[in-house]
């Protein structure tokens, strides 16, 4: 038990040091991977202030003017397997045309460099 506690403390300290140094300068605050799925679409709509996508739930109030101001500073991108579907999604939620798109054809060892590159750009 003692070794586990020490190991946990070391990992906690290591993670807190690394997160402050390495992630502050990254390009994106978040990347929505699987953006064309149900939850991904809602997340994209929320980030782009598209209230119309919340029709099936009583979430109209999540897009208040105060939240809208806060979301303008979030740097975000989308990721998925189909560039055409991702582009269509961004158009449908009126996302800024500059919103980056990462295309990851499949999650396997062959695409590990693409995944690592995407993750390395995110806080």
Look up the domain containing 80 and give its range: 25-120
- Give the SS3 label for residue 119: helix
Which pLDDT does position 83 carry in this prediction?
A: 93
* Prediction pTM value: 0.67
- Give the SS3 label for residue 14: helix
Q: Cα(32)–Cα(115) distance, rounded to whole angstroms?
A: 13
Mean pLDDT by 10 residues, the chain (123 residues): 51 48 80 93 87 60 54 84 94 89 85 90 90
Number of domains in the chain: 1
- HEC assignment per residue over 42-68: HHHHHHCCCHHHHCCCCCHHHHCHHHH
Which pLDDT does position 106 carry in this prediction?
A: 82
8 assigned to some structural domain: no
Which pLDDT does position 36 carry in this prediction?
A: 94
12: CB partners within 8 A, 6+ apart: none
13 assigned to some structural domain: no
Which pLDDT does position 50 carry in this prediction?
A: 80
């Amino acid at each position: 038990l003692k070794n586990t506690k020490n190991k946990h403390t070391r990992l906690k300290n290591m993670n807190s040091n690394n997160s402050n140094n390495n992630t502050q300068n990254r390009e994106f605050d978040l990347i929505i991977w699987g953006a064309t799925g149900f939850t991904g679409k809602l997340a994209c709509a929320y980030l782009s202030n598209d209230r119309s996508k919340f029709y099936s739930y009583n979430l109209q109030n999540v897009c208040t003017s105060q939240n809208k101001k806060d979301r303008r500073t979030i740097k975000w991108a989308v990721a998925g397997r189909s560039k055409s579907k991702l582009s269509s999604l961004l158009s449908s939620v009126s996302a800024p045309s500059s919103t980056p798109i990462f295309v990851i054809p499949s999650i396997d060892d062959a695409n590990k460099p693409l995944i690592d590159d995407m993750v390395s750009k995110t806080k």
